[in-house]
Structure 1
Amino acid sequence: MRHFFYWLILGILGFSLLTACNHHTPQNISSLPKQPTAECRMVKHTMGETCVPIHPQRVVTLSSCTLGNVLALGVKPIGTTNEVYVEGNSLSSINGKTDGIKLLGLSQPNLEATLLLKPDLIIGVDWFKPIYPLLSKIAPTVLGEIDFINWQKHLSFVAESLGKQEVEKALWDRYYQRIEQLKQALGTRYQGKKISFITLGSNQLYIDSKNSFSGSILSDALLQRPAAQNLDSTYGAFPISFEELEKADGDILFVTTYSSGGKKFLEEKQQEPLWKSLKAVQENHVYYVDFMSWAATHMLGTDAVIDDLFKYLVNTP
């Protein structure tokens, strides 16, 4: 990250990719000869081995988690996909770092638009296996495994693909330095306190478990979770009914929504007695955070989550 609902998105994505591959193959891509790369090195990935440029200049990323990691490693892609739409600007979560990057699609890349960008390297995740043959005709393409509860592995894959392993090490050094600064700033203020994090979609509520993207950051900061959230789950999150809302309660409650349907669902539930009965609500300790940051599953997202923890847990009275 990311969440249970991402596997629903993944199912939609897989269908759309297969449909695109079977019915919308641009002739000018399928007939392209494989382009040799003069100076390259081999990278292992889910589709085998590919010789990638030693110093790529025109990188395309497939998926928001790949995009965030590439940006964190100091490389600005020329184009990207972004599987989750955010109202107003689907790339808004990267805090202005996406200016000038062409959006190539949400559920799948527009192959002809990708071809026109003339990339020299395409990096993505294994969702895009069905169109790998077409992508590899456009440019050397590497697809890494994506497991949202082991999001750190994708950062390492992207770093290897770009030859940025030293930068990756520096990013982790900085991450743990920020975590230590946060722990020192928190002191004993939240000792014994429970920190809850929930996401609302259209007519559905999800709880983040301990092994989610945001959960891993909270754990590193030694922040405790409510009993119902202090566990690992297959997808890093799990749905609950609104009648089970007490599982979402805590001394501090972080809330996010995805899609306009999530915002409407939250507004409706905020008027109900069950929501108003939550301890965090009654004590005015509910904080609304950005979905694309707290579900990021990339290194740029860690900064956004840590910034929010400083903002609401350290600097808020």
Structure 2
Amino acid sequence: MHRKSQITIRIKRIYQQLFLFGLLAVLVVACNQSSVSETSTSTNCPMVDHVAGETCVPLNPERVVVLGVPTLANALALGIKPVGSILYFDKTSSPSYLEGKLDGIELVGTGNQPNLEKILILEPDLIIAMNDSGLSYDQMSQIAPTVVDNWYGYSDWKEHFNFVAEVLGKTEESKQVWAHYEQRIQELRAALGDHYQDTEVSFVRVCCGRLATDVKNSFSGMILDDVGLSRPSAQDVEVKGGLVFLSEELITDMDGDIIFVVVDEGDDDAQKMFEQLQQKPLWNKLKAVQQGRVYTVNLQTWRGGNPLAAYAVIDDLFKYLVDNEQK
């Protein structure tokens, strides 16, 4: 009986040893697979530094959600159509530069109020957000790899485009976009010639119960500067965010040989405010008003903050500064 017990004990030990050897083999294989997986991930999933940290971004993402209209237009300019985006306007009243380009893109929120559930339903493989998108990085990164860019106003539009291009792996395509922008700028410069050398171009925004101007380091201001057009001294400044608010008492700060006015088409109060402004005695003393050179342009275009909107602004400058002069 004692001998049988010893044999049983030996058999158990053998089985234990075999189990341990097997377990060790499994762990070695797992570690090797993990190593291979990490190597594969680092190769096929480049790391991108952003304001919220560092994210491994998939190559050639197919289901991108963007939380910003400039980000949306940047992706479109680079040949990527997101599956979802927020909008700052109604789809039916989208600016002309986005006409026909929003089909098939799901609306996941308006303004800075994205809907987490709608984003989740889209099953994105990448989320590109701004630092004012309205959702926390933790919330978004639990759904998909997420990158967040600094956005402190439309003065950052060129840097934001380059960031989106890097995230999407479209740096070569971005060079083509900038080349086309530079080509359009040079074409406009050539068409203007020296005719506007001493002409000051003013920009007035009527929105949200206030008057404002986009100054030198704003989206439209940077385009005007690239074209070589001068601004009134009160607007020829750089401030954080590129936006300066004006008071009706300082209407002379809006003066210029030409005035471009943007009125939020969806804001009845803004329309009324602009009508009231036109009744002011000081308004009718402005040079551009007296010469009939006040032009109303689209707010979403002139504050678009992306290359597609920039092309549309250049189209407007051709329309009002070149075509009008030839009539």
TM-score (norm 2): 0.81
SS at match of 1:81: strand
Provide the C-alpha distance between the structure 1 equivalents of 2:68 and 2:135, rounded to a whole number of angstroms: 15
Whether the 8 Å contact between 1:70 and 1:76 is mirrored in structure 2 is: yes
Structure having the larger proportion of residues in helix: 2
SS at match of 1:315: helix
- 1:190 aligns to 2:196 (yes or no): yes
SS at match of 2:203: strand
- 1:61 aligns to 2:66 (yes or no): yes
Provide the C-alpha distance between the structure 1 equivalents of 2:151 and 2:249, rounded to a whole number of angstroms: 33
Whether the 8 Å contact between 1:46 and 1:143 is mirrored in structure 2 is: yes
CA RMSD after TM alignment: 1.9
SS at match of 2:104: coil
Whether the 8 Å contact between 1:47 and 1:129 is mirrored in structure 2 is: no
1:289 matched to which residue of 2? 297
Partner amino acid, structure 1, of 2:310: T
Which of the residues 294, 308, 312 maps onto 1:300? 308
Whether the 8 Å contact between 2:97 and 2:312 is mirrored in structure 1 is: no
> Residue 51 of structure 1: CA displacement?
1.2
Count of residue pairs the alignment pairs up: 281
Whether the 8 Å contact between 1:91 and 1:98 is mirrored in structure 2 is: no
Which of the residues 82, 102, 105 maps onto 1:101? 105
Q: 1:187 to 1:167 in 2, by over 3 A?
A: same
Q: How does 1:207-246 map to 2 (within 5 A)?
A: 207-246=213-252
1:179 matched to which residue of 2? 185
Higher relative contact order (CA 8 A, sep 6+): 1
2:125 matched to which residue of 1? 120
Q: How does 1:1-317 map to 2 (within 5 A)?
A: 39-82=44-87, 84-85=88-89, 88-89=92-93, 94-106=98-110, 107-128=112-133, 130-148=135-153, 149-258=155-264, 259-260=266-267, 261-317=269-325
SS at match of 2:259: strand
Provide the C-alpha distance between the structure 1 equivalents of 2:316 and 2:108, rounded to a whole number of angstroms: 30
- CA displacement 1:5-59 (0-9 Å, x = unmatched): xxxxxxxxxxxxxxxxxxxxxxxxxxxxxxx996422111112111111011111
Provide the C-alpha distance between the structure 2 equivalents of 1:104 and 1:129, rounded to a whole number of angstroms: 12
SS at match of 2:244: strand
Q: 1:178 to 1:189 in 2, by over 3 A?
A: same
> Residue 135 of structure 1: CA displacement?
1.1
Provide the C-alpha distance between the structure 1 equivalents of 2:284 and 2:246, rounded to a whole number of angstroms: 18
Q: Unaligned 5+ residue runs, structure 2?
A: 1-37
Partner amino acid, structure 2, of 1:271: Q
> Residue 147 of structure 1: CA displacement?
3.0
> Residue 124 of structure 1: CA displacement?
1.2
> Residue 105 of structure 1: CA displacement?
0.7
SS at match of 2:57: strand
Whether the 8 Å contact between 1:151 and 1:298 is mirrored in structure 2 is: yes
Percent identity over the alignment is 46
Q: 1:87 to 1:286 in 2, by over 3 A?
A: farther
> Residue 196 of structure 1: CA displacement?
0.5
SS at match of 2:198: coil
Whether the 8 Å contact between 1:86 and 1:92 is mirrored in structure 2 is: no
